[in-house]
Structure 1
Amino acid sequence: MTQVDSKPERILITGNNGYIGSVMGPWFKRAGFDVVGLDSNLFQQCSLVPDKDNIPTIEKDLREVTPRDLDGFDAIVHLAALSNDPIGNLREDWTRDINHTGSVRLARCAKQAGVKRFVFSSSCIMYGMSEVAEANEDAPLAPQTEYARSKVTAEAALSELADDSFSPVFCRNGTVYGLSPRMRFDTVLNNLMGMAVSAGRVQVFSDGTPWRPVVHVQDVARSFQTILEAPRADIHDQAFNMGADHLNHQIADLARIVTETVPGCTLEMVPQPGADQRTYKAGFGKFKRTFPAFQFLWTPRDGARELYEAFTRIGLTAADFKDKRFTRLHWLRHLIDSGQVDGQLRWAAMAA
């Protein structure tokens, strides 16, 4: 077996103190990897439940990384990004700077440092308002937002770096949900469950028909591990939709699952002009064919029960649900308004 094909042992996870990273880091550690994180810690204060494990972390802005920071790593799992459409719509230059330029810069530094594998956390959102029955990896890309565009352009630029010594792979996640230490209430199922537990009702502002491919955060960690451990020939310079066909759900279906999980919860369908009507069903046949033994273990109903039990245990209130710490856009605005970060989303003390 060649060196490139050997199982990576020392892993750097960027964004390890974010929503996905604070689940994935401990998961990889328990799986036997030597895990180090890299995070600017913008969201370190956004904790809802305790961390499961402490991952040694390089506290550094993604945009300031040097090849020396990356010496000795076998692989990089690149999660760090501005993570949703509202942030991208607020300041498009932030999203381009971090999600595209920062990602490409990181990959170039990794290649210079001799890192063999680069796992890029991408998104099915790049399919946009897909007109195909199920958008697979060959479907036309129709990004509707700056966030989605940043994933498209980053994938293309990273692919240009692929060669015999550097192997990028693009993991296009569906809409992620599930309990995390660094919780988010601005993803659909988390939002519906937080609303249901804290207010006793669920409000859906679209007509409920849009489709979303949803995936539990623990299944994201497991599937990324599978990508890390796969033979290079199976994944080199390829994109994979990360999920399963049975996990495509309409918003109304998710809302009904939530109301059936939370006792006494009511459902209100209140379509509003301007509500998010993006819709896409992702096709996951390629991942299934490539990794036939892998099973996505979580369903939305399982995830709803997990969240209900966790929120009930901690006594989630309406104030908790609306807390700025758990909506990424509101938290970034707070950091800026309070002078903690500057206009480029760098910590003010570091900038000074």
Structure 2
Amino acid sequence: MSQRVLITGHRGYIGSVLAPRLLERGYEVIGVDAGYFDACALAPSWSSLREWTADIRDLSRAELRGFDAVVHLAALSNDPLGELNPAWTEEINTRAAIRLAELARQAGVARFVFSSSCILYGDAGDAEVDETSPPDPRTVYARSKGEAERGIAGVAGPGFSPVFLRNGTVWGFSPRMRLDTVVNNLTASALATGRITIHSDGRPWRPVVHVEDVAAAFAAALEAPAHLVHNQAINVGDRASNRTVREVARVVAAAVPGSMVEQLALPGADQRSYRARFDKIAALLPGFRLRRPLEDGIAQLVRDLAPHAGRAFADPRFTRQAWLKRLIASGAVDANLRPAGVAA
């Protein structure tokens, strides 16, 4: 019998890549999503997935019964969104995530794979950080992920195994595209304007990881023996993932003929820097391999984005903060960020 998996946020940037991958691997996949980003599509998505629309803050224990695993992706997913209203971020990213884990354990779910982030390492300069490094969250979003990890870890117990996947900066094409992550943004800018604009001095390090590789890591975390991954935090990527912003810009420029790098070095630009180690993912998820390093995958991203970049680069649908602001202004979501028509 196939495993039954619930994906929260399945209509988002990562979820719309992960869901079909799990279906192809024989899982019974059901999705739940609030629908914030339903209009943010650049390509057709799946057609056979069972799903329902709900706010994760309102899910019940009864709705989680019968699932073998929960993959929890749903969140306000970057720093600008986190800063938009810190109370929303704490409620959705932290308290709702911990509550969901508690309900999942009560409902008999065995595996809870949480989408976390390497951003919680903060500013380590040129030093390498691993899963034992003390968190140094510098933003509301980063704190929300660290606090959620701690709270969910406290729910772990016999028969209930949380796993925390700390994604690097995700890039690559998705049916529900984002152009507000560094590689995607620089690539879209190069295609749309011919300029690749770096606001910092270009020296900060980021671990960049392709969305397809992130999806593969989630699949591997579902399939790993519980004794290996029980209550473990795991950085997602490999040594080739660590790049300076300046390096990323050079790779993009090489892939988009005629584009030029523009370095502004603005005062106040984000200078946080962290290089992640990935020894643990190699040890605990031996089936995982980074298959789309930056140089290999960027040409495909350029091909996928080229037909859309001219209109998409300035389109608020592909920048999470801009789109959520539009939903708020239009009344599509209420003052508590609940989608209209989705009952509490």
TM-score, normalised via structure 1 length = 0.95
CA deviations 1:212-241 (Å, max 9, x no partner) are 001000001111111110000000011100
> How large is the RMSD of aligned CA atoms in angstroms?
1.4
Aligned partners of 1:26 and 1:54 also within 8 Å: no
Residue 344 of structure 1, CA deviation:
1.1
Deviations 1:307-332 (A, max 9, x none): 111122x2421x32110100000000
Unaligned runs of 5+ in 2: none
Q: Deviations over 1:47-86 (max 9, x none)?
A: 1122145421121100000011111100000000000001
Provide the residue aligned with 1:196 in structure 2.
Answer: 190
Instruction: Tell me the distance in 2 between the aligned counterparts of 1:275 and 1:138.
Output: 28
Q: Indicate conservation of the 8 Å contact 2:22/2:219, yes or no.
A: yes
Correspondence list, 1:1-352, <5 A: 9-131=3-125, 133-312=127-306, 314-317=307-310, 319-350=311-342
Letter in 2 for 1:344: N
Distance 1:54 1:305, change over 3 A: farther
Letter in 1 for 2:6: L
How many Å separate the matches in 1 of 2:235 and 2:302? 28
Residues 20, 259 of structure 1: CA spacing in aligned structure 2 closer, same or farther, 3 A cutoff?
same
User: In 1, distance between residues paired with 2:51 and 2:135?
Assistant: 35
In 2 relative to 1, CA 285–74 (structure 1 residues): closer, same or farther, beyond 3 Å? same
Query: 1:331–1:253: structure 2 CA closer, same or farther, 3 Å change rule?
Result: same
C-alpha contact (below 8 Å) 1:245/1:284 kept by paired residues: yes
Inter-partner Cα distance in structure 1 for 2:253 and 2:95 = 42
Cα contact 1:8–1:75 (8 A) shared by 2: no
Amino acid at match of 1:271: A
Whether the aligned pair in 2 keeps the contact of 1:26 and 1:53 (CA below 8 Å) is: no
State the Cα distance separating 1:33 from its structure 2 match. 0.6
Return the alpha-carbon distance in structure 1 between the equivalents of residues 155 and 86 of structure 2: 25
Deviations 1:120-171 (A, max 9, x none): 0000000000257211000011000010001111111111111102111110
User: 1:264 offset after TM fit, Å?
Assistant: 0.9
SS in 2 for 1:129: coil
Greater displacement, 21-30 / 129-138: 129-138
Q: Does structure 1 retain, via aligned residues, the 8 Å contact 2:220–2:287?
A: no
Give distance in 1, aligned partners of 2:309 and 2:319.
15
Code of the aligned partner of 1:247: S
Task: Provide the identity percentage.
Answer: 49
Q: Contact (CA 8 Å) 2:189, 2:313: kept in 1 or not?
A: yes
Distance of 2:89 and 2:286 partners within structure 1: 35
Amino acid at match of 2:322: H
User: Any unmatched runs of 5+ in structure 1?
Assistant: 1-6
Q: Does the C-alpha gap of structure 1 residues 348 and 290 become closer, same or farther in structure 2, counting only changes over 3 Å?
A: closer
Distance 1:348 1:135, change over 3 A: same
Aligned length, in residue pairs: 344
Query: Counterparts of 2:339 and 2:186 in 1: how far apart (Å)?
Result: 32
Range moving further from structure 2, 174-183 or 282-291: 282-291
Inter-partner Cα distance in structure 2 for 1:64 and 1:28: 25
